[in-house]
């Protein structure tokens, strides 16, 4: 009885698999959830929106429009519509980075052969 709300910040708890485990545990015990952001780029913002759209995330999160934090993001900017962000609907996390901007901000890459 000591917890009635859980703020899930994927960047602080080990990522989205851990976030989903916390979600499932909270749902099993009737504990409300809300998704917290940490100044993510559009890629992390899209993933947070997908997480926040799961059942059980019943409280407003703190994921906002990307222009609030970045003059230029590596994805198409997220814009508020009547105080809400749309959950991307494309495959995977729903969005893709903009190749030219991603290349501009990339400092190194490494291919790992499996």
**pLDDT tens digits, 4-27:** 899 999 999 999 999 999 999 999
Predicted confidence at residue 12, as pLDDT, reads 93
Percentage of the chain lying above the pLDDT 90 cut: 69
What does the pLDDT read at residue 104?
A: 95
User: Are 44 and 66 contacting, i.e. CB atoms less than 8 angstroms apart?
Assistant: no
Round the average pLDDT of the chain to a whole number and report it: 91
- Given a cut of 80, is residue 1 above it in pLDDT? no
At residue 60, the pLDDT reads 81
Given a contact cutoff of 8 angstroms between Cβ atoms, the answer to whether 65 and 36 are in contact is no
Q: Is beta strand 32-35 parallel, antiparallel or unpaired with respect to 5-8?
A: parallel
Question: What average pLDDT does the segment 21-48 reach?
Answer: 92
pTM, to two decimals = 0.86
Could you give all domains of the chain from N- to C-terminal order, each with its CATH number? 5-105 (3.20.20.120)
Residue 74 has pLDDT above 90, yes or no: yes
In DSSP terms, which residues pair with 34 in a beta bridge?
Answer: 7
Q: Which three-class secondary structure string do you get for 46-103?
A: HHHHHHHCCCCECCCCCCCCHHHCCCCCCCCCCCCECCECCCCCCCCCCCCCCHHHHH
Closest residue by Cα to residue 101 from 73, 61, 63: 73
Six-digit token string for 77: 């900017």
């Amino acid at each position: 009885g000591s917890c009635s709300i859980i703020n899930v910040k994927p960047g602080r708890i080990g990522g989205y698999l851990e976030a989903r485990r916390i979600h499932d545990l909270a749902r099993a015990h009737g504990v409300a959830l809300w998704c917290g952001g940490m100044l993510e780029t559009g890629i992390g913002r899209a993933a947070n929106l997908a997480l926040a759209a799961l059942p059980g995330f019943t409280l407003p999160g703190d994921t906002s429009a990307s222009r609030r934090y970045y003059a230029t993001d590596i994805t198409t900017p997220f814009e508020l519509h009547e105080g809400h962000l749309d959950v991307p609907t494309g495959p995977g996390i729903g969005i893709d980075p903009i190749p030219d901007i991603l290349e501009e901000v990339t400092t190194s890459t490494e291919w790992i052969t499996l």
